[in-house]
Amino acid sequence: MSLSSPVVAIVGATGAVGVEFMECLEKRKFPLKELRLLASARSAGKLMTFKGQNLTVTELTESSFKGVDIALFSAGGGISKKFGPIAVQAGAIVVDNSSAFRMDPTVPLVIPEVNPEAAKAHKGILANPNCSTIIAITPLWPIHQKNRIVRFIASTYQAASGAGAAAMEELRESTRAHLEGRDYQNTVLPHPYAFNLFSHNTKIDPANGYNEEEMKMVKETKKIFGDESIRISATCVRVPVLRAHSEALMVECERPITPDEIRAILAKAPGVKIVDDIEKNYMPMPKDASGQDDILCGRIRTDISDPSGKSFCMFVAGDQLLKGAALNAVQIAELLVK
């Protein structure tokens, strides 16, 4: 295996994240020797463009990973569970974008701006965190390093892209139908999407009332921060936005902290950009975050409900397909070739 110039395979190449994988690899000049595109049988034969050349998508099979050094997976948890170990057995290192391995104690869960050293402990598989987790804690981590975060509450405003390309198309078509006064029957998401929002479409645990997306944020943050004592609660909501998630964060630190201190920390932090124009009331918006690598941070203010001065509020927005998925995975792969 030559990780200085690896053979890279994308599993789920024709999906929304797969397309972003290709664009990130090209944009970041990832030093690969060869790129292979893998997908289901129905996508086999499709042509996709990479660096000005047409590449043919081939069917994902158990023999697809011969000669592959790094495999980027984004085809769902079931595919990852089946083919991830097969890829490792064939000699590849897997960077998986699904939830299949995230909470496996033997699998590193990595955000390169937060815990890049964790990638070294891999045993063939590395996991990409959930998009809402990445977008919340990438800007929180540098604050945590200066003034330990003991608790945070997240309210998310999650885009259609988190449910895949089909959900994005359903949002487009249902919006068009609504504006034209036509009936539209949703088939991808459980509720009408145009001009509507609803509780995140993952299963709710009847024991605690939290859905799977919310519990991912809780469990994954504790694993990435290496801190089981941090107290976290989340309310995750699907909103009619195409591809950027936004989140309102209420955060409690160990010691008092001021908005100016937070801005000073974030100004030097990798992967984030402050958008906090109070005079013009111009703050992070999914419109601006879409297509951007950085997570936008603003509405930075003291939490006036906490007289101790230890708490603050912040609003963030990040591209779900980029930093929330493909970009973070490619950054993990970059750690492997350094």
Residue 1 inside a domain? The answer is: no
Could you list the residue range(s) of the whole structural domain that residue 238 is in?
A: 133-320
How many Cα atoms within 13 Å fall on the side-chain side of residue 32? Answer: 27
- In this prediction the pTM is 0.95
Residue 338 has pLDDT above 50, yes or no: yes
Query: Mean pLDDT in the chain?
Result: 97
Query: In sequence order, which residues have a C-beta less than 8 Å from that of residue 318 and are 6 or more positions away?
Result: 134, 135, 138, 244, 245, 289, 292, 294, 295, 296, 324
Burial of 167 (0-12, 13-18, 19+ CB in 10 A): buried
**In angstroms, rounded to a whole number, what is the distance separating the alpha carbons of residues 211 and 18?**
26
When pLDDT is cut at 50, 70 and 90, the band that residue 112 belongs to is very high
Residue 289 inside a domain? The answer is: yes
258-274 per-position pLDDT tens digit: 999 999 999 999 999 99
Token code pair at residue 161: 């892209």
213 and 310 housed in the same domain: yes
> Quick one: average pLDDT of 226-234?
97
Catalytic residue among 122, 245, 297, 313: 245
163 and 276 housed in the same domain: yes
329 and 238 housed in the same domain: no
Number of domains in the chain: 2
16 and 146 housed in the same domain: no
**In angstroms, rounded to a whole number, what is the distance separating the alpha carbons of residues 216 and 255?**
27
The answer to whether 245 is a known catalytic residue is yes
39 and 97 housed in the same domain: yes
Phi and psi, residue 65, nearest 5°: -105, 10
Residue 2 has pLDDT above 60, yes or no: no
Residue 331 inside a domain? The answer is: yes
pLDDT of residue 4: 83
Question: Strand pairing partners for 235?
Answer: 155
Residue 182 inside a domain? The answer is: yes
Residue 1 has pLDDT above 70, yes or no: no
The CATH number given to whatever domain includes residue 54 is 3.40.50.720
Residue 210 has pLDDT above 80, yes or no: yes
237 and 183 housed in the same domain: yes
42-60 per-position pLDDT tens digit: 999 999 999 999 999 999 9
5-25 per-position pLDDT tens digit: 999 999 999 999 999 999 999
102 and 159 housed in the same domain: no
The CATH number given to whatever domain includes residue 263 is 3.30.360.10
170 and 309 housed in the same domain: yes
Token code pair at residue 285: 């918006």
Report whether 317 contacts 296 (CB < 8 A). Answer: yes
pLDDT of residue 307: 97
50 and 184 housed in the same domain: no
State the DSSP string of 227-282: -TT-EEEEEEEE-S-SSEEEEEEEEEESS---HHHHHHHHHT-TTEEE--BTTTTB
When pLDDT is cut at 50, 70 and 90, the band that residue 33 belongs to is very high
Residue 2 inside a domain? The answer is: no
pLDDT of residue 3: 80
168 and 288 housed in the same domain: yes
Catalytic residue among 131, 236, 297, 313: 131
